[in-house]
């Protein structure tokens, strides 16, 4: 045999001999899910407002398997016997990309999409640290859909963050709240795909969001505060445009949220069939009655307007934006009182720097909600709005082990919710100040 051939054959034999055992190995059997128990000194039933004492919550893997008063044997116990234990919280309105403390009109134009996403990774850790294990991103200006990449990265375990659903871009009209071109006309940007000035263009914008994986469609029904050119009192998208967006989105199994501050824009969005109104800051009696009749959700985001008035231009906001913020704040409480009078379905949303994500609890209570109702807004209500009722919102057998703890009684003092001392998301301990 040719020496070269003989050497080649010998090499094949050696490779086969070495590789065969490895190829023959079967995958290792999966390890059984880790089991642990949490001892809750007081466990709040967020549906009824009742406390149960000295409850053991047994967690296996990422889910709760049982709750009871008997101490389980043979597993580690996390001792929260001096704390009040609640389900993980859900922020149903926020924006995760970029630096939340840069409020200048050109902030998004001075930051690359990769840098904006890295800020998003940072921001998500803050939500978790405050006990928010769930989040709805309420649209982003960046057309690269960094929020969807972060949502998927959390789901894959590449980064830590709340479980998420997300809107795509902020669908608006040219010159509306959501048109991020704040430049002079001779320096203007190329037209962006979130802008829609006709019914047909709205279909295209919605389909683009759906194509790239958005869970929700976000419509800018009215002008807003945080831009230098729109008027929050003015309806921008037409009712026909919003109805088409709802038709396209619902046919694809997606829901629709509408930024709506001005009175007529709120009512047009509700008549068009949107699933939730965001802000609703100039809601009137007719609009509240219409929302009640149609079962439209409200995410009032009270604190962000209050905080914005305090900050003024200190975070880079244009003076025009700061003035709008002061003016609209005077309209907030009468509108929220109407929402409570008409028993609207209310979910928790902050629309602010995540460092202040817990401050909406106090704002809701100052606005007239009970402490329990404010907590429900961030648990069972937000879970229902986001379609998570089977998996989140309460601590029950079969649901995700999304569990937090606070010191004190939040039903007696809602500000207790601003200092979360323990956070578990899907069975993983994220924060524990009780060690």
Residues 70, 93, single domain; the answer is no
Residues 405, 330, single domain; the answer is no
Residues 175, 286, single domain; the answer is yes
- Given a cut of 60, whether residue 270 has pLDDT beyond it is yes
Mean pLDDT along residues 228-247: 97
CB atoms within 10 A of CB 118: 16
Residues 84, 102, single domain; the answer is no
Calpha distance 288→205 (Å, rounded):
29
Q: Are 356 and 307 in contact (CB under 8 A)?
A: yes
- Given a cut of 70, whether residue 153 has pLDDT beyond it is yes
Q: Which of 105, 95, 351 is nearest to 227 (CA)?
A: 105
Q: Are strands 89-94 and 63-68 parallel, antiparallel or unpaired?
A: unpaired
**Residue at which a domain ends, from 321, 352, 383:** 352
- Given a cut of 90, whether residue 316 has pLDDT beyond it is no
Q: Residues near 141 by Cβ (< 8 Å), separated by ≥ 6?
A: 108, 169, 170, 178, 180, 194
pTM as predicted: 0.91
Structure confidence at residue 24 as a pLDDT band (50, 70, 90): very low
Q: Which of 93, 319, 315 is nearest to 225 (CA)?
A: 319
**Residue at which a domain ends, from 334, 352, 370:** 352
Quote the pLDDT of residue 17: 40
Q: Which of 390, 399, 403, 379 is nearest to 47 (CA)?
A: 379
pLDDT in tens, 186-216: 888 889 999 999 999 999 999 999 999 999 9
Residues 149, 106, single domain; the answer is yes
Residues 155, 49, single domain; the answer is no
- Given a cut of 50, whether residue 422 has pLDDT beyond it is yes
**Residue at which a domain ends, from 324, 352, 380:** 352
Residues 74, 103, single domain; the answer is no
Residue 380, SS3 per DSSP: helix
Percent of the chain topping pLDDT 70? 92
pLDDT in tens, 245-262: 999 999 999 999 999 999
Quote the distance between the C-alpha of residue 103 and its chain's center.
20
In a domain, 107, yes or no: yes
Alpha helices, DSSP H only, in 86-198?
113-129, 146-156
Percent of the chain topping pLDDT 90? 82
In a domain, 69, yes or no: yes
Terminal-to-terminal C-alpha distance of the chain: 72
Beta strands in 127-267 (DSSP E): 132-137, 163-171, 216-220, 255-260
Q: Which domain holds residue 274?
A: 89-352
Residues 138, 276, single domain; the answer is yes
CATH number at residue 416: 2.30.40.10
Q: Whole-number mean pLDDT of the chain? A: 92
Mean pLDDT along residues 301-326: 92
Q: Which of 222, 172, 382 is nearest to 297 (CA)?
A: 382
pLDDT in tens, 43-72: 999 999 999 999 999 999 999 999 999 888
Residues 72, 108, single domain; the answer is no
Handedness of CA 136, 142, 143, 145 (dihedral sign): negative
Quote the pLDDT of residue 32: 55
- The C-alpha angle with vertex 355 and arms to 351 and 360, in degrees rounded to 5, equals 50
Residues 40, 150, single domain; the answer is no
Quote the pLDDT of residue 247: 98
Counted domains in the chain: 2
Calpha distance 246→249 (Å, rounded):
5
Q: Which of 69-78, 91-100, 231-240 has the lowest mean pLDDT?
A: 69-78
The pair of three-digit structure tokens given for residue 137, joined into one six-digit string:
């991103």
Q: Which of 89, 94, 88 is nearest to 257 (CA)?
A: 94
Quote the pLDDT of residue 186: 87
DSSP structural state of residue 229: S
Name the region of 67 (left: φ>0; alpha: ψ -120 to 50; beta: rest): beta
Q: Which of 301, 289, 287 is nearest to 364 (CA)?
A: 301
Residue 7, SS3 per DSSP: helix
The pair of three-digit structure tokens given for residue 200, joined into one six-digit string:
């047909």
Calpha distance 268→219 (Å, rounded):
12
pLDDT in tens, 337-369: 999 999 999 999 999 999 999 999 999 999 999
Structure confidence at residue 387 as a pLDDT band (50, 70, 90): very high
CATH number at residue 330: 3.20.20.140
- Given a cut of 90, whether residue 267 has pLDDT beyond it is yes
């Amino acid at each position: 045999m040719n020496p070269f051939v003989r050497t080649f054959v010998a090499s094949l034999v050696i490779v086969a001999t070495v590789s065969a055992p490895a190829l023959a190995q079967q995958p290792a059997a999966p390890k059984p899910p880790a089991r642990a128990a949490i001892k809750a000194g007081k466990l709040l039933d967020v549906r009824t407002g009742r406390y149960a004492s000295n409850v053991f919550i047994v967690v296996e893997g990422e889910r709760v398997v049982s709750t009871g008063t008997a101490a389980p044997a043979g597993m580690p116990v996390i001792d929260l016997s001096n704390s009040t234990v609640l389900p993980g919280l859900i922020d149903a309105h926020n924006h995760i990309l970029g630096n939340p403390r840069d409020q200048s009109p050109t902030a998004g134009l001075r930051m690359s999409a990769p840098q904006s996403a890295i800020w998003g990774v940072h921001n998500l850790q803050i939500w978790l640290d405050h006990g928010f294990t769930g989040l709805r991103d309420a649209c982003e200006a960046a057309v690269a859909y960094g929020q969807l990449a972060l949502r998927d990265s959390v789901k894959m375990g590449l980064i830590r963050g709340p479980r998420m659903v997300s809107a795509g871009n902020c669908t608006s009209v040219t010159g509306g709240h959501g048109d991020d071109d704040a430049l002079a006309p001779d320096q203007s940007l190329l037209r962006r795909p979130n802008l829609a000035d006709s019914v047909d263009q709205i279909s295209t914008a919605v389909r683009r969001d759906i194509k790239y994986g958005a869970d929700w469609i976000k419509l800018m029904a009215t002008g807003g505060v945080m831009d230098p050119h729109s008027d929050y009192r003015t309806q921008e998208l037409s009712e026909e445009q919003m109805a088409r967006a709802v038709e396209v989105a619902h046919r694809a199994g997606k829901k629709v949220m509408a930024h709506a501050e001005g009175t007529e824009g709120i009512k047009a969005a509700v008549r068009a069939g949107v699933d939730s109104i965001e802000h609703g800051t100039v809601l009137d009696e007719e609009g509240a009655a219409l929302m009640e009749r149609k079962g439209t959700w409200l995410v009032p985001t009270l604190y962000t307007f209050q905080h914005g008035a305090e900050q003024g231009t200190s975070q880079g906001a244009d003076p025009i934006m700061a003035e709008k913020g002061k003016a609209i704040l005077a309209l907030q409480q009468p509108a929220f009182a109407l929402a409570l009078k008409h028993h609207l379905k209310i979910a928790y949303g902050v629309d602010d720097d995540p460092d202040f994500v817990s401050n909406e609890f106090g704002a809701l209570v100052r606005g007239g909600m009970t402490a329990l109702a404010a907590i429900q807004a961030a648990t069972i209500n937000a879970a229902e709005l986001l379609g998570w009722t089977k998996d989140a919102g309460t601590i029950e057998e079969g649901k995700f082990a999304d569990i937090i703890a606070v010191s004190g009684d939040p039903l007696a003092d809602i500000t207790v919710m601003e200092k979360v001392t323990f956070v578990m998301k899907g069975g993983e301990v994220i924060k524990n100040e009780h060690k």
